[in-house]
Amino acid sequence: MTRSAVAGAPLLLVPALGAVQGGFQPDTWVWAGTLAAWAAALGLVAARPGALGTAWRWPAIAVALLIWTLCSAIWSAEPQQSVLEARRMLVYAAFALALVVLARESTAWTLVRATHIAVTGLLVYALLRYLLQARVNYRFEGYLISQPLGYANAVGILAGMGMLLGLGILAEADTPAVRAFGAATVPPLALALVFSGSKASWLALGVGLAAGAALAPRPRRLVLVSALVAVPSAPLIWLGRYSHYADAVPARVGGATLVGAAAGASAVAAALAVVGRDEAVLGRERSRAAIAIVLVAAVIAVAFAGGSTEPRRSYFHVAWHEYLAHPLLGSGAGTFGRYWVVSGLPARWGGALDAHSLYLETLAELGPVGLLLLVAFLLYPVRRALASRHVPGVPAAGAAAVAFLVHAGVDWDWELPAVVLAGLACLAAVLLAEERAAVAVGRAGRALALAASVVLGLCSVAGTASTAVPSATQRDEAPASGASSSVS
């Protein structure tokens, strides 16, 4: 295997899942989990002795979270929904294992570029489809850009992550062509973010920019490239907002015009990336860095000021009381939808299957043990991010990973594998930044990992026997409120 083998995981699975409603439906987990698990198995067969180093601990934590999620079906009020949650978690565990197995030394840069291409390709397709086809008023998303992912906020966070990866590539790449490509992707991704209407994604982008500045060995270069792409991106963002294309009113600007404007902005950004490389443009004044910090803080402040409190506040309230009712083990994975229906709030706010906060929902459904395993899974890769920030790709991957982690705290990203796999690829880039530790994995450890890969693949295939779908209740009798549940 070559170093680029690991790139195939995000390049294949992120766009493929994104093209089918973000991978929300269980039938997509069958092939996604199988491909990831058996890619890991093939990688283990071909890997050299001791190749896993200490990185194996990350997928091991994922498998532990998978087992705990599956065990929650024992005490769950909705056992079928708990098994469904475990099936989705299987995809994430298999993907993490595949990334670790397929990776070689210092593959951060490879993963950053592969994830950036996957996200950008998916969203450029979504943007062209959105602007060149007739405007459609979807039931839950209105005129916002949501297809093919099926959820506008998913488009928003992927756009934010893609922008951060593009800025990182622009700041760190050595060749003009790669720099130009990274810069050219930022304006259309910014336009997609505008049309998503996702305030939380702007917040995540601001926090991610701050994280990227903290990780960058030369923060002033990041400030420079951000200023360069802001020149063509800011007018495009203004035009997107002025057009009202995503609002329930007649658009002021046609879709074809917006496509042309995005293409022009991309061309300008690419040209500026080639001619504006010199850091001397910033001079030696440290005040410029202070200005950048102020701008990032302003983005975060605007995101907070413009954010809505409802119905998320009600989601959080119900999830917290769900936890208080089951403080030790939680109520079982996938049960929030039932508690939301029983609360009677769907009559006011509509149906919801998720608490719109991965961390609070995990605490409510899987208890403190589940939350601890989740936090360990998500934070283990970033524990040495500062120490590895000199490795190309780590600042960009770290910034995008932080944006993903922030957004997952205020939305239901976890239910859309296309978003989660992009985030996991960024986390893996940080984890696998440097050469593997000298701790070798013996034959027994490799055999165990191989067995785990095969079992994960077989379990994923076994999902074809299930007809269960995400729902507020799988019981014969309806909850007391009688309200229906839907994804929000």
The tens digit of pLDDT for each residue in 254-264 reads: 999 999 999 99
pLDDT for residue 292: 54
Specify the higher pLDDT residue, 174 or 376.
376
**What average pLDDT does the structure give for the chain?**
87
Q: Which residue has the higher pLDDT, 18 or 53?
A: 18
Counting beta carbons within 10 angstroms of the beta carbon of residue 72, is it exposed (0 to 12), middle (13 to 18) or buried (19 or more)?
A: buried
Helix (H, G, I), strand (E, B) or coil at 269: helix
What are the tokens at 238?
A: 């203004």
Question: Is residue 319 situated within a structural domain?
Answer: no
CA distance 311 to 358: 16
d(CA 101, CA 95): 10
What average pLDDT does this structure show over 203-227?
A: 87
d(CA 173, CA 78): 50
pLDDT range class, residue 94, cuts 50, 70, 90? very high
Structural domain includes residue 423: yes
- Over residues 447-452, the mean pLDDT reads 84
For residue 338, count CB atoms less than 10 angstroms from its CB and return exposed for 0-12, middle for 13-18, buried for 19 or more.
buried
pLDDT of residue 301 exceeding 50, the answer is: no
State which H helix or E strand residue 114 sits in.
Answer: helix 108-132
The answer to whether 402 and 208 are in contact (CB under 8 A) is yes
Model pTM score: 0.92
- Sequence length of the chain is 488
Give pLDDT tens digits for 39-91.
Answer: 999 888 876 555 556 788 999 999 999 999 999 999 998 999 999 999 999 99
pLDDT at position 446: 73
Burial class (CB in 10 A: 0-12, 13-18, 19+), 306: exposed
19 in a structural domain: yes
- Give residue for tokens 């769907």: 346
In a domain, 471, yes or no: no
Q: How many domains does the chain have?
A: 1
Cα(487)–Cα(268) distance, rounded to whole angstroms?
Answer: 40
Q: Kindly indicate the confidence band of residue 190, based on its pLDDT and cuts at 50, 70 and 90.
A: very high
- Residue 447, pLDDT > 90, answer no
Mean pLDDT of 216-241: 89
Nearest to 419 by CA among 151, 142, 126: 151
Residue 482, pLDDT > 80, answer no
What is the rounded distance in angstroms from the CA atom of residue 171 to the CA atom of residue 8?
A: 24
Cα angle: 473, vertex 485, 353; to 5 degrees: 80
pLDDT of amino acid 483 = 32
Residue 72 lies in a domain: yes
In this prediction, residues 362-387 reach a mean pLDDT of: 95
Q: Does residue 103 sit within a domain?
A: yes
pLDDT of amino acid 125: 98
pLDDT of 473 reads 63
pLDDT of residue 300: 54
CA distances from 440 to 260, 321, 384 (A): 54, 46, 20
Give residue 441's domain range.
3-312+346-465
pLDDT category at 306 given cuts 50, 70, 90 is: low
277 inside domain: yes
Tell me, yes or no, whether 400 lies in a domain. yes
pLDDT value at residue 475: 44
C-alpha span between 395 and 203 (Å, rounded):
18
The pLDDT of residue 295: 57
DSSP character at residue 142: B
Which has the higher per-residue pLDDT, 305 or 80? 80
Residues 6+ apart with CB under 8 A from 20: 28, 148
- pLDDT tens digits, 282-298: 444 444 554 555 455 55
What's the pLDDT score for residue 426? Answer: 97
* Ordered DSSP codes for 49-85: TTTTTTTTHHHHHHHHHHHHHHHGGGT-SSHHHHHHH
Structure tokens at 401: 């990973």
